[in-house]
Structure 1
Amino acid sequence: MDDDQMRERIGKLLADGLKTQTEPFPETAREFSRLLDELYRLPPDDLRGKLVLSGFTDTPYGPERMRCQECMYYLVHRKWCDLPELAVPVEADWWCRLWRI
């Protein structure tokens, strides 16, 4: 499956109402690391698990309307999340709780 097909698949899962864990947002480095550890323990092909655990949404999130496009892990030209524990194609207006500036 290429990146565009994977992005479409993720978009469909989210649009169809996949319930993800948007809270709690990891406020400290320790909380962030714990979440990364949980993601690391998932099987590499567990797309649903990654989306649920990382709290993906298909719309900007929170009062500041945070989105992937402003995240430090977002690769603009590839439309890709470069966080090794996720490493998935994403849309600019999506968000997850691993979002960082």
Structure 2
Amino acid sequence: MLNINQLNKEFESRVRLGIMSVLMVNDWVDFTEMKNLLSATDGNLASHSTALEKAEYIEVKKEFVGKKPRTSYRVTQKGRDAFTEHINNLEKLLGR
């Protein structure tokens, strides 16, 4: 029987769940697109993406396009594995 404590705490936030869900089905997604998809504020997206980056679940790329900075994200293999396990555990918890 699955215990709720077996769910990954890194994915408890709605924003982190959203970031991971978007990145599981897209390659690179830039900050503005992610912010719009999740209806998140700049600070909220930045803090949650930083936490996922520290956990090595996402990769962050910062570059300049012309003179404008652009931040983009993609999921790492470690992140893909952890999120897949999290979703599988949720399904087990729901009895599926």
Q: TM-score, normalised by structure 1?
A: 0.24
From the CA coordinates, give the structure whose radius of gyration is larger.
2
More strand by share: 2
**Higher relative helix content:** 2
